[in-house]
Amino acid sequence: MIGTDATILTPHPVLSRHYDHAADRHAHVTRLFDNTAQHYDRINSVLSFGTGTRYRRQALRRAGIAVGTRLLDVGTGTGVIACEAMDLVGPDGHVTAVDPSRRMLDVARRRGVSDVRIGTAEALPCDDSAYDMVTMGYALRHVGDLAVLCREFVRVLRPGGVLLILEQTPPRAWVLNQLYTLYMKTVVPRVSRLVTGSRDAGALMSYYWDSLDQCVPAASILGALEAAGLTAVRHDVVTWCFSEYTARRPAGPSF
């Protein structure tokens, strides 16, 4: 979905139910995450059908994480992926977690993530070529420009480094798609508000569904990754609705 400026590749159009202008998106989304940080892990359990932690660990292993890996988790939220990665990389590795929400990072710290940095995915507070692996879990739809995001991935990855993006993709089969839509659009926002007692929790999950429903197709995401210079670009759907995008920065001189 191309924004009004042809140089900007937005992950979805302006969601007028939630904010009025593209320039309002970042503040709106950050406020929602700040206001729901204390509830987010419970929300996430509902959203991921209770399989979130196990699935993230499996995805990291499929992407090739190993003892000693230096990993950057972008849009870390409460640090779920970061914590799984810390366990897998061991004391010889290192995990950095970046997020624009201070309150989400506070939860990540309490969870045990030591290297947390406030920042956006499109201007990462990280050195060039610093990481063996970069991950992003269910946050791609919250950025403003996929092209800038992908260039930042390339910048912070070392030559030969691996990128892993986790997202959700509505299933293609009609019956599954209808059930998925009902669950994500109606059940998740209502249950999130019920179990947390937070109006913002329901609002966050309504935004989550609208951004997912209006997200650009996988082909556009793959195209943005390739345009940034990444290679071995793949999109795999796991257990009918969880998408894994993987890519690699080419080995060789820095860009």
Structure tokens at 181: 């839509």
Please name which of 100, 155, 99, 150 lies closest in space to residue 131, comparing C-alpha atoms.
155
**132 to each of 50, 81, 163, how far by Cα in Å?**
29, 15, 9
Six token digits for residue 163: 């990128």
Going by CATH, does the domain composed of 22-171+209-248 fall within 3.40.50.150?
yes
Hey, where are the domains in the chain? 22-171+209-248
- Indicate the SS3 state at residue 149: helix
pLDDT in tens, the chain (255 residues): 333 344 789 999 999 999 999 999 999 999 999 999 999 988 887 766 666 788 899 999 999 999 999 999 999 999 999 999 999 999 999 999 999 999 999 999 999 999 999 999 999 999 999 999 999 999 999 999 999 999 999 999 999 999 999 999 889 899 999 999 999 999 999 999 998 999 999 999 999 999 999 999 999 999 999 999 999 999 999 888 899 999 999 997 644
pTM of the model: 0.93
d(CA 144, CA 24) in angstroms, rounded, equals: 10
Amino acid type, 63: A
Q: Tell me if 136 sits within 8 A of 155, measured CB to CB.
A: no
The one-character DSSP state at 142 is: G
* CA-CA-CA-CA dihedral for 231, 211, 11, 33, to nearest 10: -80
CA gap 93, 85 in Å, rounded: 9
